[in-house]
Chains A and B, each alone.
Chain A
Amino acid sequence: MSDHELRVSKIRNGTVIDHVTAGQALNVLAILGIDGSEGEGVSIGMNVPSDRLGRKDVVKVEDRELSQSEVEVLSLIAPEASINIIRDYDVVEKSRVDRPETVAGLLSCPNRNCITNDDEPIASKFTVVADGVRCTYCGEIVRDDIAAHLDVQG
C-alpha cells in the first residue's frame, strides 16, 4: 500500500474498496447501508492522490465482505473501483468491479410516473448504457445522480 493509504490504519478483516471515483465514498457507504449505527469500523480517505485516477476515494470496512448485488451497484457509481478482501491483515482476494448488463431491484426509477413506482408486483430493472442506466419499463435515463436513486441498504 502507498504512503497515502497509510493515512488510515490497516484493517484486520473486512473489505478495502480502492480506486473509488473521487467524491463517491459516502455514496459507497450508502450502498452498503453503513451509517455507523451497528458499531462497525469504517475508515474513509477522500480525494487522495492516485496514479491511475488523479484523485480517488478509499473506503475500508471492517468485518464486512460485499455481496454480488452490492458490487454491481458499486460499479455504476465507481466503475474503476477495486475490491480487496482482507483476512488477518492480508489481501486474500483482489478484484475489479464489472459493469453488469442489467441491474434489478437496486435502484428506484426517478420518473415518478413510471409503473415501477406504482404498487405493482415487479422490481425495478435498469439496462446499463454507456454512461448511465436506463429504466427497462419507462425508458428514463439516469446518468449523473445514480447514487440518489439507490434502494440498497446493506
Chain B
Amino acid sequence: MRQDHLISAANLSREGIEAVLDRAAAIDADPAAYRQRHAGAVLALCFFEPSTRTKMSFDTAMKRLGGTTVDMGTVESSSVKKGETLADTVRVVEGYADAIVLRHPSEGAAKMASEFVDVPLVNAGDGAGQHPSQTLLDLYTIRERSGLDDLSIGIMGDLKYGRTVHSLAHALTNFDVRQHFISPESLRLPRNVRFDLHEAGAQVREHTDLDEVLPELDVLYVTRIQRERFPDENEYRAVAGQYRIDEETLETARDDLSVMHPLPRVDEIAPEVDETEYATYFEQAHNGIPVRMALLDELLTRFKEGGR
C-alpha cells in the first residue's frame, strides 16, 4: 500500500501542513500558472453521503488544475444499492481515476478503502471521524488572518460528532495553540480525541459557557449543534440557544476575533454577524479551492513521480 493518502489529520505533521498551505498560497497568488498542471488527470468523486460544498470544491479544484472528474452519483443510483461492498467499489474506481475522494457514513471507511487501492485517496469525511481536507483549509484561513502560533482558539458546538472539529483539534497540536472546547456536557469531545490531545501534550480547556473564554480568543470556530443527536427535543432546546452567536454575544470579543464555521450553518450564527469584521466563514469556504488544488497537486505529483 502506498502512503500517498490523506486519511486523518492525526497523521499530519507541521512540515506537511505548511507545505500544502505554502502551495495553496502560491496557487492563490498565480492561479493561471496551475491551469494545465494536471491536464488529462481524472479524479473520482465517491460520495456515499450527501455533500454540496466539499464535492463541488474538489470538483472545481481538479478542473482548475486542468483535470476532469468522474462522479459515482448518489448511493441510490449506484451499485452500492445492489449490495456492493466499499472495498469492491474503490477497487473498481481505482481503474478509472488517478485519485479518489471518498465520503462515507462509517468511521474508518477511508482508512479501510486506502488499504484496497494504489491511487491516492482523500478522506472527505468518514462518519463522525475525520475531515482532514476541511482542516487544511481551516488552517489556511487562520494562517492568512493571524499566523498559526501563539493563538487561543475556541471550538464550539457539537464536539462529539463533529468530524471537522476532531480533525482540527488533531492538526492544531502541531502549533503553539491554546485550544478551548465549548459545548454542552452531552456533546463533549469523544474519549479517543481527548486521549490524543493529552498524548500530544496539547494545551486544552473545556467549557460549557462561551462567556468564560470569549474575550481571550483569536478564533472562534463554530459548528452546528445537531438537533438529531439529542434523544429529547427539550434537552436540545435547553442548550441550543446558549451556543448562538449574534452581535450582542460578540460584545466582549476582541476586535480582531475571527468567527469561522465549516458550513452549512442553520441558526448558530445570526445573519447580522455576516456584515461584521468578525465573519470569516465565507472566505474560509472560498479557500477550499486553492487548498484542495494544492492538496491534489501534491498527491498527484508525488504519485506520478513514484510511477503507477
Contacts and interface: CB of A to CB of B under 8 A. Distances in A.
Given A113-B127, A121-B87, A138 B191 contact: no
Contacts of A136: 108, 111
Contacts of A111: 107
Contacts of B99: none
B263 interface: no
A139 B86 contact: no
B10, B109, B193 interface centre (most CB from chain A within 10 Å): B109
B192 A120 contact: no
A138 B127 CA distance: 9
A119 B87 CA distance: 10
Nearest to A122: B112
Given A120-B87, A139-B129, A114 B192 contact: no
B128 A137 contact: no
B108 to A, nearest CB: 3
A138 B109 CA distance: 8
B3 interface: no
A120 B85 contact: yes
Interface string A127-154: 0000000111111110000000000000
B106 interface: yes
A104 to B, nearest CB: 13
B192 A139 contact: yes
B215 interface: no
A116 interface: yes
B255 interface: no
A111 B127 CA distance: 11
Nearest to B109: A115
A137 B107 contact: yes
Contacts of B127: 113, 138
Interface in A87-142: 111, 113-122, 134-141
A138 B108 CA distance: 4
Q: Give the interface size bracket for B toward A.
A: 20 to 34
B115 interface: yes
Contacts of A115: 86, 104, 106-109, 111-112, 126
Most B-side CB within 10 Å, residue of A116, A134, A138:
A138
A139 B107 contact: yes
Given A136-B111, A137-B111, A138-B129, A118 B191 contact: no
A118 B195 CA distance: 25
A140 to B, nearest CB: 6
B147 interface: no
Contacts of B108: 114-116, 135-139
Central interface residue in B104, B107, B191, by most chain A CB within 10 Å: B107
A122 B115 contact: yes
Interface in A23-76: none
B85 A119 contact: yes
A117 to B, nearest CB: 8
A139 B163 CA distance: 13
A135 B105 CA distance: 17
A134 B192 contact: yes
B222 to A, nearest CB: 24
Interface string B186-197: 000001110110
B86 A118 contact: yes
Interface in B134-173: none
B131 to A, nearest CB: 14
12 contacts: A113-B105, A115-B86, A115-B109, A115-B111, A120-B85, A120-B87, A122-B87, A122-B115, A136-B108, A137-B111, A137-B112, A141-B192
Given A113-B107, A120-B87, A137-B107, 10 more contacts: A111-B107, A113-B105, A115-B106, A118-B85, A120-B85, A122-B112, A135-B108, A140-B107, A141-B191, A141-B192
| 3 shortest interchain CB distances as A-B pairs | A137-B108, A138-B107, A138-B108
